[in-house]
Amino acid sequence: MKRSPKNIILKTLKIIGITIGSILLLLFLIPLLFPGTIAEQVKKAANQKLDGELNFKETHLSFYKHFPSLTVSLDEFSLKGSAPYRNDTLVAAKEVAFGINLKRLIFDNQVSIDEIYLSDGQANIKVDEHGHANYNVYISNAPKTADTTESASIRLDRIEIKNVDLKYNDLSAKVAIDAKDFNYIGKGDLDKSIFDLTTKARIGSLDFAFDGETYLKNKVVNADLLTRINTNSLSFVFRQNNLKINKLPVKFIGKLNFLKDGYDIDIHVETQNSNLNDLFTAMPPAYVTWLEKTKVQGQTDVLFTFKGIYNASQNKKPDLGLAVNIRDGFIAYKDTPFPTSNIFLKFNTRMPSLNPDLLEIDMDSIHFNVGKDFLAGKLYSKGTKHINVNTDMKAKLDLEKLNRALGLEKVEIKGLLTTSIKAKGDYDAAQKLFPVTDGFLALQGGRLKTPYYPNPIDSIRINARIKNTTGNYKDLMVKVTPASFHFEGNPVFVAADLSNFEDLAYKVNAKGEIDVAKVYKVFRQEGLDVKGYIKADLFLQGKQSYATTGQYGKMNNKGTLVLRDITAKSQFFPKPFLIKEGLFRFDRDKMFFNDFKAGYGQSDFNLNGQLQNVINYVLNDKSVLSGNFALQSDFLNVNEFMAYNPDGVKTNNSKVNAKKTKPKEPTGVVVVPTNLNVSVVANAKKIDYDGLVLNDMSGKAMVKKGKIMLRNAGVGIIGSRMTLDGVYDDVSADKANFSLRYRAKDFDVNRAYREVKLFRDLMTSAEKAEGIIGVDYRLRGVLDQNMQPIMPSLKGDGVVTVKKVKIKGLKLFSAISKKTGSDGINDPDLSEVEINSNIKNNVITIDETLIKVALFRLKFKGQTNFAGQMNLRMRLGLPPFGLIGIPVVITGNKDNPKIKVFSKTGEEVPETEYKGTPAPVSPPTQSEPKPEPTATPAPITPRAKE
């Protein structure tokens, strides 16, 4: 029987209805049939795959929230991070949902999670200084158990994130990212060791900062990415990645492989044929605000490359490159009548192996117009030490028009600038090479005003010319005729004519007054403070060879330079010097110091004297500066002069290459420049050296070839007067050699033991002594970074004179008295005894010495070290006249002496040999040095004010 079309249609609709009804029924029944099972298995799977504390309020099972996936939703979800951030929240969200594979659930009775949904939450990603991150919570290859294999698994094919605020703070890379309204869809089999991750992302507001500097602020980002990830070798291949930062389209391709000792990277980031306006939308916030008031047109290409292997142990670093091409550019700020037009720029720079010495800059062309004014030219340079340069630049600009065209509202710039410069060749100061050059620069009617100071630098005038016809120093000529400006009503004038830089012929005239603090405020920079006052009236004329050959009569250097409240920093010292006031006077090759009052930390100085060879010293870093001074001080704190630099290197000018960063407590030896030949007759009322107070110091110190030599210096110490001769030579920033002879008479031995660490180390047995002694000792050795002697390095010899000393309670004499039954030597009174000794390898060797104690005669010699260990041989002469003697050997240490009576066998005192190889230091002469004259240089009368 033939069915009618109507019946067929009804039957089909019936089958479709039953099917749809069954599906809808399953949508209701499955969550009812499996709620506890599914929720329990999801929790087990999460615990199996996540290494972090997971919490949620309650669960829901539904087909409708993420249809057609069956999803388990966890409300009020939170997950803490991995070590070292286990107590900090990694992810928190209103809801996290897991998509369940329906086929495996029905036919295999297995809960398989292949999707994750996260919405309305926060993610806080952190990386510490050592690279340890808090996001390492996913366990890719967790061990399978019978329970997890049969009941639940995670094979992620999709990750979807909606409306999440993401913060990324990487302390190791100094990178900070804040992404608000972050939306992300990622597809791929994330459980495989090698998989392709397809990503679509949108960020409503992105902030990016590097090393504390913000580069992106409130940027809208859209991304369409395809990345191949290999979790076994931890490598990423960026196959197809299209970004849009605000309006700027960017392509991003390349690879990143993490190696055992570094990484292998090949990154290309580029935008092609983009609008110049769109490029500015992707720049830091200041440009975006400026862009709102500015019309920008033109096309641009930008290419950034980073390629190579980074391996610190093999000194391998990637190559960095940047290329920028701008065409038909146009910038007009607030409808200015003088827009910047016809902007063309073709710029390319490379830094192979991230080495600044190999930096290459190729600006093939640059050009723009401001009305009829223009700037045009090209520039090529390679290197930073030996520089190869080729440039041709011309400009004729009204700076006020340019300022209005670019919209530099905060800065007022005026003046007519004309310049033309051509240069081609090599620059190398060591080889006295300079490019073949012909150029000039002229600025008329210049003016500069910034928001940091109410008054401008005005009436700026510059007329300068530079010329070199052969490429050698001897044919280089520089003329400034003249340069001048006005500031705060004070005119400043400088004119200079320089030629033949191999034997520099100079003629310089400078006159004017400058308040450094006020001028600095015009260019203010946060974190720095500069102040001071300078008044100059100088005329310098001559040749460099006049100084080197002693033709001082041909030099015409004269004038004065007044300084007040100047703060000066030097690479040689950790603290700044403050010149409270002082007058320089120039006369031929000499520079005189008149009544200089200065301070350094807690120390104060009053200085008079002169320097010679100043011009040659300034022009030639190998020349030596000579001089002599008289210095007066009420207080010197030597500890403040110690410089810290573990990488100090000895050079012609300095033994220190000071680091920019310093530890909290700087330490180091006093560093002495190598190109000084200066003598100082000094008088200081009080000196503090590592807690030791010295009084009324006087004497002569000489600085020569990086050494300090002290001759016939006297200083008050522990109530006595000590005479010193010595040599000091710093080997590096944390080590120095010294040689010293010190002589002192009639000082308190107990006070010396308590207050002088070196005496305490050398004379360990003086702890129980009271009375008056004298010393004449020669000592040399090595000082450590705290200016303390390295004991095994000490070598020396000398004599200690005991005039009147009483020793009480010393265990050595008590033990001898007890062993020999001689009560008279228990607490001996000693007088008129000379003890000769020498020091080497941490051991003090005492020559044979005779002591009269009551009716006894003691004769002893032997060794002791700085740890107090002893090996002494003694003969105790019995009364009368000591004709009969008892041999005694003393070993052990000062606190626990071991006495052997009628014995001649001792124990060797351990030596400690110094492993270092100190540079030779000439020891002071052993004969009494002749007193040197300490005359103060004659006072210098300053020139009368004009």
Task: Report the pLDDT value the prediction gives residue 212, as an integer from 0 to 100.
Answer: 75
Cβ neighbours for 760, distance < 8 A, ≥ 6 positions apart: 753, 754, 766
Q: Does pLDDT of 800 surpass 80?
A: yes
Task: Report the pLDDT value the prediction gives residue 940, as an integer from 0 to 100.
Answer: 32
Mode of pairing for the β-strands spanning 412-427 and 436-449: antiparallel
| Confidence category of residue 362, pLDDT binned at 50, 70, 90 | very high
Q: Does pLDDT of 321 surpass 50?
A: yes
Task: Report the pLDDT value the prediction gives residue 912, as an integer from 0 to 100.
Answer: 86
Highest mean pLDDT among 168-177, 422-431, 444-453, 881-890: 422-431
Q: Does pLDDT of 161 surpass 90?
A: no
Range with the poorest average pLDDT among 412-416, 618-622, 646-650, 868-872: 646-650
Task: Report the pLDDT value the prediction gives residue 140, as an integer from 0 to 100.
Answer: 55
Please tell me the distance from the alpha carbon of residue 740 to that of residue 575, in angstroms, as a whole number.
Answer: 28
- Evaluate whether 675 touches 623 at the Cβ level (below 8 Å): yes
| Confidence category of residue 570, pLDDT binned at 50, 70, 90 | low
Q: Does pLDDT of 154 surpass 60?
A: no
Among 880, 480, 920, which Cα is nearest to 727's? 920
> Tokens 């052997």, residue?
900
| Confidence category of residue 228, pLDDT binned at 50, 70, 90 | confident
719: left (phi over 0), alpha (psi -120 to 50) or beta: left
Mean pLDDT of 60-64: 66
Mean pLDDT of 555-578: 77
Q: Does pLDDT of 22 surpass 50?
A: yes
Q: Does pLDDT of 37 surpass 60?
A: no
- Evaluate whether 835 touches 860 at the Cβ level (below 8 Å): no
Task: Report the pLDDT value the prediction gives residue 564, as an integer from 0 to 100.
Answer: 83
Between 576 and 712, the higher pLDDT residue: 712
CA-to-CA separations, 567 to 517, 531, 604, 640, in angstroms, rounded: 10, 7, 14, 16
Task: Report the pLDDT value the prediction gives residue 825, as an integer from 0 to 100.
Answer: 58
| Confidence category of residue 379, pLDDT binned at 50, 70, 90 | very high
Range with the poorest average pLDDT among 23-32, 489-498, 726-735: 23-32
Q: What share of the chain is helix, strand, coil (3-state, %, to 5)?
A: 15, 55, 30
Q: Does pLDDT of 901 surpass 50?
A: yes
- Evaluate whether 639 touches 692 at the Cβ level (below 8 Å): no
Task: Report the pLDDT value the prediction gives residue 927, as an integer from 0 to 100.
Answer: 39
Length of the chain, in residues: 946
| Confidence category of residue 744, pLDDT binned at 50, 70, 90 | confident
Task: Report the pLDDT value the prediction gives residue 316, as an integer from 0 to 100.
Answer: 84
Mean pLDDT of 92-101: 81
Mean pLDDT of 772-797: 87
Mean pLDDT of 806-812: 54
Task: Report the pLDDT value the prediction gives residue 347, as an integer from 0 to 100.
Answer: 94
Task: Report the pLDDT value the prediction gives residue 302, as an integer from 0 to 100.
Answer: 92
| Confidence category of residue 477, pLDDT binned at 50, 70, 90 | very high
pLDDT in tens, 197-214: 788 888 888 888 877 777
Task: Report the pLDDT value the prediction gives residue 153, as an integer from 0 to 100.
Answer: 53
Task: Report the pLDDT value the prediction gives residue 318, as an integer from 0 to 100.
Answer: 87
Q: Does pLDDT of 105 surpass 80?
A: no
Please tell me the distance from the alpha carbon of residue 234 to that of residue 729, in angstroms, as a whole number.
Answer: 53
Q: Does pLDDT of 428 surpass 50?
A: yes
Mean pLDDT of 458-472: 93
Please tell me the distance from the alpha carbon of residue 668 to that of residue 656, in angstroms, as a whole number.
Answer: 11
- Evaluate whether 127 touches 160 at the Cβ level (below 8 Å): no
Task: Report the pLDDT value the prediction gives residue 710, as an integer from 0 to 100.
Answer: 85
Task: Report the pLDDT value the prediction gives residue 919, as an integer from 0 to 100.
Answer: 44
Task: Report the pLDDT value the prediction gives residue 817, as an integer from 0 to 100.
Answer: 61
In this structure, what DSSP letter does residue 138 have? Answer: B
Between 786 and 377, the higher pLDDT residue: 377
pLDDT in tens, 293-313: 888 999 999 998 989 888 877
φ, ψ at 189 (rounded to 5°): -85, 85
Q: What is the mean pLDDT of the chain?
A: 77
CA-to-CA separations, 658 to 571, 624, 733, 734, 861, in angstroms, rounded: 6, 21, 9, 12, 49
Task: Report the pLDDT value the prediction gives residue 227, as an integer from 0 to 100.
Answer: 79
Highest mean pLDDT among 25-34, 359-368, 588-597, 871-880: 359-368
Question: Is 181 buried (19+), middle (13-18) or exposed (0-12) by CB count in 10 A?
Answer: middle
Q: Does pLDDT of 932 surpass 50?
A: no
Task: Report the pLDDT value the prediction gives residue 252, as an integer from 0 to 100.
Answer: 81
Task: Report the pLDDT value the prediction gives residue 879, as an integer from 0 to 100.
Answer: 73
| Confidence category of residue 645, pLDDT binned at 50, 70, 90 | very low
Q: Does pLDDT of 259 surpass 70?
A: yes
Task: Report the pLDDT value the prediction gives residue 462, as an integer from 0 to 100.
Answer: 93
Mean pLDDT of 846-871: 81
Task: Report the pLDDT value the prediction gives residue 218, as an integer from 0 to 100.
Answer: 81
Give me the amino acid identity at 76.
E
Among 825, 693, 800, which Cα is nearest to 749's? 800
Mean pLDDT of 233-243: 75
Mean pLDDT of 464-475: 93
Q: Does pLDDT of 936 surpass 70?
A: no
Between 496 and 817, the higher pLDDT residue: 496
Task: Report the pLDDT value the prediction gives residue 644, as an integer from 0 to 100.
Answer: 45
Mean pLDDT of 444-455: 85
Longest dimension (CA), the chain: 159
Highest mean pLDDT among 414-423, 516-525, 609-618: 414-423
- Evaluate whether 897 touches 812 at the Cβ level (below 8 Å): yes
- Evaluate whether 102 touches 77 at the Cβ level (below 8 Å): no
Mean pLDDT of 812-841: 68
Among 882, 819, 886, 824, which Cα is nearest to 853's? 824
- Evaluate whether 301 touches 271 at the Cβ level (below 8 Å): yes
Q: How much of the chain exceeds pLDDT 70, in percent?
A: 75
Mean pLDDT of 923-931: 41
Q: 782-792 burial by CB neighbour count: b if 16+ within 10 A, else e? A: bbebebebebb
Mean pLDDT of 696-713: 86
| Confidence category of residue 851, pLDDT binned at 50, 70, 90 | confident
Range with the poorest average pLDDT among 70-79, 154-163, 368-377, 451-460: 154-163
Q: Does pLDDT of 654 surpass 50?
A: no
| Confidence category of residue 170, pLDDT binned at 50, 70, 90 | confident
Task: Report the pLDDT value the prediction gives residue 898, as an integer from 0 to 100.
Answer: 82
Mean pLDDT of 434-447: 94
Mean pLDDT of 6-12: 67
Bridge partners for 741 per DSSP: 725, 778
Q: Does pLDDT of 465 surpass 90?
A: yes
Q: Does pLDDT of 394 surpass 90?
A: yes
Between 932 and 403, the higher pLDDT residue: 403
Q: Does pLDDT of 442 surpass 90?
A: yes
Query: Taking the domains of the chain in order of start, what are their residue ranges?
Result: 248-392, 410-517, 531-623, 638-645+668-808
| Confidence category of residue 393, pLDDT binned at 50, 70, 90 | very high
Between 183 and 935, the higher pLDDT residue: 183
Range with the poorest average pLDDT among 163-172, 246-255, 280-289: 280-289
> Directed axis angle between helix 35-49 and helix 5-33, to 10°?
60
Q: Does pLDDT of 188 surpass 70?
A: yes
pLDDT in tens, 749-776: 777 777 666 566 655 556 666 677 788 9
Q: Does pLDDT of 361 surpass 90?
A: yes
Q: Does pLDDT of 475 surpass 60?
A: yes
* The pair of three-digit structure tokens given for residue 848, joined into one six-digit string: 């044979």
Please tell me the distance from the alpha carbon of residue 102 to that of residue 105, in angstroms, as a whole number.
Answer: 5
